[in-house]
Amino acid sequence: MPAEVKDKDGVPIHVGDTVSNRARGGKQVGKVSAIVTTEEEAAEREVGHPPKVLFGDQHGHHVAHYPPTVIHGDNPFK
């Protein structure tokens, strides 16, 4: 696994960053709560196939996405 997880634009992602992604014709936006890089962490947090970026979206849902599918900021359409 890479030591540093990067977003779609190649910018490193850290806990606390605001990230967003496109989702079913809309978007999901939230602050990163965790970055899962190992199978053990994935099992603990009940997510599959690391690496994953975990964040709570604007509706309060907990989501996990592959790092290259998210970007920094709240506008994934730029």
For range 57-75, the mean pLDDT: 92
Spell out where 1-78 has E strands: 18-23, 26-36, 52-56, 62-65, 71-72
- In the chain, what are the domains? 18-72 (2.30.30.1060)
For range 9-23, the mean pLDDT: 95
For range 31-41, the mean pLDDT: 95
State the pLDDT confidence band at 2, using cuts at 50, 70 and 90: low
pLDDT, mean over the chain: 92
Q: Which of 52, 45, 56, 44 is nearest to 16 (CA)?
A: 56
**Above pLDDT 70, what percent of the chain?**
96
Q: CB neighbours of 1 closer than 8 A, spacing ≥ 6?
A: 37, 38, 50, 51
Q: Is the pLDDT of residue 43 over 80?
A: yes
